[in-house]
Amino acid sequence: MSLSVLHPGLLTTVQDLGRPGYQQAGVPVGGALDAVALRVANLLVGNDESAAGLEITLRGPCLRFDAGGLFALTGADLSPTLNGQPLQLHRPTWAPVGAELAFGAPRAGCRAYLAVAGGVAVAPVLGSRATYLRAGLGGWHGRALRTGDELPIGAPLPLGQRIIAELAKNQSSIAQARWTPGPQLCPAPRHRPVIRAVQGPEYGQFAVASQRAFWEQPFVVTAAADRMGYRLQGPALARLTDSELLSSAVTHGTVQVPPGGQPIVLLADRQTTGGYPRLAQVITADFGALAQAAPGQVLRFQEVSLDEAQALYLAQERAVRALQRGIQLRFA
């Protein structure tokens, strides 16, 4: 099976859950910015949650199924259609041979995820199929998709085959399942998201007024926003000292503040180390909400304790694991 790229969209890349283990060599973990959305899409088509899918940014591609295939879309609502027929998100969907998946105007959110039963079957690089654009590695030849690419799709797992057998009694017509995961795993991206964060290691080096401004004032995601991070625009944040910091680890969700005072929030393709003060750290449970903020959107930060962050992390993990078990039981 393969997917033919009739039109690539703005930025469509192959992503999985990233390549941990190489940060010592300066290689970021990378992978889907909204990892929970990709995991859910994979589970809906009977894949392992870490299978490779497509991350689709704002303006979606047009893709043709060169054979019939089971797929699911999660994350942003970018007005998806199959052969012109509007689709719902978060549902296993059967595409007959030759069907064309297209997208229209972005309705909510910035990044949609497409999982196809069997997964995108490119060769792993350093243990992952994720595309790391800066170094040109992983994914489809280390780059975003282009017109004419033919993406190989693996064979569906037995679970995926059972979902297909129930859904697609007639394989020549489109079918969408009636069931979806619970609302916790299908959040509608908010227009003005509130992103929860804990204090970063250098939080105490900032003026109290700047600390307060960070939690209370809105910030705009500027056009300088990519898979490495977003430059934000808002009140200038002042550090009390101008002592030079020594480079130390930064990670997905680190909010760092360069000398100009406008913060940068780092995403999955960030550097592994940095020398700017780390004001805050977005909690893992809100990486999805952060990934769904598009340039021009306004967001706010809300302070939570480490205990709350950990509780929210564990609750999210429980929800994903419950979905996985539920699908396995249903199609046992």
Residue selected from 107, 191, 318, 325 as contacting other proteins according to rule CB under 8 A: 318
Check binding of 314 to other proteins (CB under 8 A).
yes
Check binding of 228 to other proteins (CB under 8 A).
no
Closest residue by Cα to residue 256 from 229, 289, 234, 219: 229
Residue selected from 2, 6, 7, 22 as contacting other proteins according to rule CB under 8 A: 22
* Contact predicate 266/229, CB 8 Å: yes
- Site residues for other proteins, 113-142, by CB under 8 A, read 125-126, 134-135, 137-138
Q: 108-116 and 254-256: which strand pairing?
A: unpaired
Output the six-digit token pair for 303.
């302070």
Question: DSSP letters along 17-28, please?
Answer: S--TT-GGGT--
Kindly tell me the sign of the dihedral angle through the C-alpha atoms of 73, 79, 80, 81.
positive
Check binding of 26 to other proteins (CB under 8 A).
yes
Residues 6+ apart with CB under 8 A from 188: 77, 108, 109
Residue nearer to other proteins on the CB measure, 111 or 252:
252
Kindly tell me the sign of the dihedral angle through the C-alpha atoms of 133, 139, 140, 142.
positive
Residue nearer to other proteins on the CB measure, 12 or 254:
254
Residue selected from 74, 93, 271, 297 as contacting other proteins according to rule CB under 8 A: 271
- Site residues for other proteins, 185-224, by CB under 8 A, read 198, 200-201
Which listed range, 76-84, 89-97, 108-116, 247-255, lies at the site for other proteins (CB under 8 A)?
247-255
* Packed helices 306-330 and 158-167: angle between N→C axes, nearest 10 degrees: 70
Residues 6+ apart with CB under 8 A from 210: 235, 236, 237, 238, 239, 261
Check binding of 231 to other proteins (CB under 8 A).
no
Residue nearer to other proteins on the CB measure, 115 or 280:
280
Check binding of 253 to other proteins (CB under 8 A).
yes
Residue nearer to other proteins on the CB measure, 155 or 306:
306
| Contacting residues toward other proteins, per CB under 8 A | 20-27, 125-126, 134-135, 137-138, 198, 200-201, 246-249, 251, 253-254, 271-274, 278, 281-284, 306-307, 309-310, 313-314, 317-318
